Amino acid sequence: MKQTIHVVGAIIENEQQEIFCALRNPTMVLANYWEFPGGKIEQGETPKQALYREILEEFNCMIRVGEQVAETFHEYDQFFVHLQTYKASIIQGVPEILEHAEARWVARNQLLDLPFAPADLPSIEKLLAEK
């Protein structure tokens, strides 16, 4: 039976209203897809705590996590993902790419130009509908 993994993603916006997007590296599951940085929620963590930890681990910066953007269930070939995305802003540090192939700040209306992980599309649609 397929497993369900519970994942959080940060929609980090800067002062130019650009969103921080990261490219999964070729050795990761869902290789070479763009994503909202984040990862799996560990036992005993709230989604917001998990997001804070993941961004610190993977980008060495501290974020403040805000409101939820979307909650999505998506079926991939190998597993189901339960993805919750949250708005966030950087409160300390500049993101360093520690685990991803690449990362960049992207204007909302250019998000769909990147090949995003399919589970992220409802979040992107919500962002595009906001402004």
20 binds ligand 8DG (CB under 6 A): no
Contacting ligand 8DG (CB under 6 A), which of 12, 19, 83, 88?
A: 83
7 binds ligand 8DG (CB under 6 A): yes
Report the distance separating Cα 50 and Cα 8, nearest Å.
7
| Amino acid code (one letter) for 25 | N
Could you give the string, one character per residue 86-115, with x where binding to ligand 8DG holds by CB under 6 A and - elsewhere? Answer: ------------------------------
Q: What angle do CA 106, 40, 131 make, to 5 degrees?
A: 30
Q: If you write DSSP's letter for every residue of 21-58 in order, what string do you get?
A: EEEPPTTSTTTT-EE-SEEEPPTT--HHHHHHHHHHHH
Output the smallest distance, CB 123 to ligand 8DG, in A: 7
Task: Rank residues 81 and 111 by Cβ distance to ligand 8DG and give the closer one.
Answer: 81
Q: What angle do CA 113, 114, 115 make, to 5 degrees?
A: 120
DSSP state of 49: H
40 binds ligand 8DG (CB under 6 A): yes
Positions touching ligand 8DG (CB under 6 A) are 5, 7, 9, 28-30, 35-40, 54, 81, 83, 117, 119-120
